């Protein structure tokens, strides 16, 4: 379960922002997760609640998740397509000369604080 490690990393980053801005309470954290990041949303939410209970400024902080669609680029026909639907083979030209443009990211988008 790598979700626990991800949550610890996020909380460390949030705590840095809290210290830099003299914040006392974090209300929510909005996280952007790529569609093919391999992170299980339900596990992340469960671990989040437990981990936040260990940090005074984050006890009731909500985790909001926005999904980033996975998009692949074909170098042969120079078009993009949905990665989950078609995988590594381009649906436009049939080429396997492709790479992932986006969709495996894990980013903190926003921290709401009081």
Please report the pLDDT score of residue 1 as a whole number: 52
Provide CATH code, domain 3-69+103-113. Answer: 3.30.2320.50
Distance (Å, rounded) from C-alpha 81 to C-alpha 77?
11
Every domain of the chain and the residues it spans: 3-69+103-113
| H-helix segments, 1-114 | 3-20, 41-52, 83-86
Write down the mean pLDDT value for the chain: 95
Instruction: Specify the range with the lowest mean pLDDT, choosing from 1-15, 26-40, 61-75, 90-104.
Output: 1-15
Structure pTM? 0.85
């Amino acid at each position: 379960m790598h979700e626990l490690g991800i949550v610890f990393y996020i909380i460390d980053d949030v705590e840095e922002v809290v210290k830099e801005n003299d914040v006392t309470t974090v209300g929510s954290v909005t996280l952007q997760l790529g569609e093919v990041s391999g992170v299980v949303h339900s596990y992340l939410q469960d671990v989040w609640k437990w981990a936040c209970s260990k940090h005074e400024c984050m006890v009731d902080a909500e985790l909001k998740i926005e999904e980033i669609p996975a998009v692949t680029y074909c170098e042969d026909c120079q078009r993009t397509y949905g990665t989950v639907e078609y995988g590594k083979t381009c649906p436009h030209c049939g080429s396997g000369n492709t790479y992932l443009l986006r969709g495996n990211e894990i980013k903190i988008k926003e921290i709401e604080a009081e």
